Structure 1
Amino acid sequence: MASVSRELEKKGLDEVIIHTGQHYDYEMNKIFFDQLGIREPDYNLGVGSGSHGYQTGEMLKRIEGVLMKEKPDLVLVYGDTNSTLAGALAAVKLHIKVAHVEAGLRSFDKRMPEEVNRVLTDHISDYLFAPTETAVKNLHNEGIKEGVYLTGDVMYDALLYNIKVAERESKILDELGLRPKKYILATVHRAENTDNKKNLENIVNAFIESGELIVFPAHPRTRRYLELYNLIEKIKNSNNLLLVDPVGYFDMLVLEENAKKILTDSGGVQKEAYFLKVPCITLRERTEWVETVKDGWNILVGADKEKILWAIAEFEPSGETYTYKFGDGKASKRIAEILWQNGS
């Protein structure tokens, strides 16, 4: 969002920021506004945690109230969260145009709530900003051809813009006593892994049994389940698994860039690993970022302990391929230009 907001401002387009408040602690929320230079949201709806139905319903109600008051020309939504779907639904029911950044991604696994969110959002959007050619093809295959634009990926814009600042500002390697390319970085936060005791146990056991130094910034919900499943003590008693609090964007970029491998179930981290040319081991059965797998930089292992252990020890990118492009770092500029030209 930071990248797009900068370009909208240059075009003289007025932007009202609605923050649904899904994340509310500093490490998962305000630090990103601070580091990325995003101004305070005009509205913070304070929805907080809850089931998918509760969250989406509350967001829908509260966003609708803001839209009725502000009467915008267009609602811009990002990604595949409950906030994305709620914002798009609230807008379309009030006959306000919708633009979706990161349109056309598909994992083809409807058990993932994110897959449902992005499919529904795409089918009610007027402007669909696709990051890759694969995303454009996915939309065409579903009969969506109007309003589709291949823009490139705004996360790539953000990484190019911020990586030098991150390298200069972040002290995370010193703080954690890490040496470049001598550790593996891990993130786990998706419900399919955290809410499933067997999956989370398999993942933690694989991390520990690998014997590799693994840095594990734990999402609040992940830490809650680690405690619930009595895995915290096991981690503390291991001599290779370093559990730390969530880190900011700059620290995360530096940890990713200097890791020898990355273990994750995050879509964004898979992409950043690819951008930074760091081998990625994805703790999911499927991914929406199929290009990273086809190019040999990413491998899907699910929560299978033996597959995770094999990948930690053996997986390497298949050659120096780097075929699929996520744009040229100017996706945000294209998005702002399209919206400006269309009078939004």
Structure 2
Amino acid sequence: MDHSIQFVEATSLKQKPSSEELGFGRFFSDYMFEMDYSAEAGWHDPRIVPYHPLTLEPSSMVFHYGQAIFEGLKAYKTKDGHIQLFRPTKNITRLNKSCERLCIPKVDEELMLKAFKELISIEKDWVPNGDGTSLYLRPFIIATEPYLGVRPAREYKLLIILSPVGAYYGDQLAPVKIYVEEHYVRAVLGGVGHVKTAGNYAASLKAQEDASAKGYAQILWLDAKENKYVEEVGSMNIFFKINGEVVTPQLNGSILDGVTRDSVIDLLKHWNVPVRETRISIKEVFEAHARGELEEVFGSGTAAVISPVGELNWNGDIITVGDQKIGPLSQRLYDAITGIQTGKVADPFDWTLDVTSVKVY
């Protein structure tokens, strides 16, 4: 397809928030990327336009049958003023995996990368430079065909919106409390747990609400079949450091293949830290704690990067981890990943993509 992207200039621009008031996902930049799909024309009319409300038919299929997928990645301002993305091609590849599972037409990966670059180039002043801040990119696709009937839609819209963000959990490295969910399940083998579709998150809200009422920041999901094997946290993959070895649940078709998860595993191997992807039960985790071998627990994800876990509650049995302080390995991983993202440390993996020099329009 034609990779040229149309640009429509805004008549006025927003006032940008300060780094101190950002939070997460509260503010949105002046422009967004938009592209449409029809069965006749395929993906067409890629454009960067002023951020605006969408007008959809009430019969649009996304409202009734849930064809909606998304991704999340970040742009960072480096110490020398450059702007760089972190592993954007991984997110684009995963977006197309979600497309395949949800029967949505795949997108051209070169065009998506170009859209990221050009949108950030236009919105470069929206990339914050405070500690722990970044510009969050949210690409997503929804089914827009006006039709009531259970089948894949024949019309879609792809959008990319931008949001300057701070730390996901406020005090980024303060250990969070996690509630092990035994009643509700997040995903099943053969389902859609391994892709980023909106329904996965809608299904998690009730359990998350219940956990929040008990004072817990997140849910730790167990497998749907035996209700005993650890899968992932609501917004993160999960890691356990047990007797010197780092263990994380293996990808099994119901766990999201996290970009930060993959980065953590690569870093641990690079440092010669033992790491294993395997099936691990919540009972094994609690038994390791009873033996004094559970050294650290931490989550990984685009939003939080590395989030240490200080407490686990499994059916009323509560354990604390690392005196509810961040562990040395969690800190090292956080420093390494954020250091690479912001250009403070060397990138031995070629993970970052400098978009500073992109010239458009």
Compare the two structures and name the one with the higher helix fraction. 1
Q: TM-score, normalised by structure 1?
A: 0.31
Greater length-normalized contact order (CA 8 Å, ≥ 6 residues apart):
2
Compare the two structures and name the one with the higher strand fraction. 2
Which structure has the larger Rg? Answer: 2
Q: TM-score, normalised by structure 2?
A: 0.30
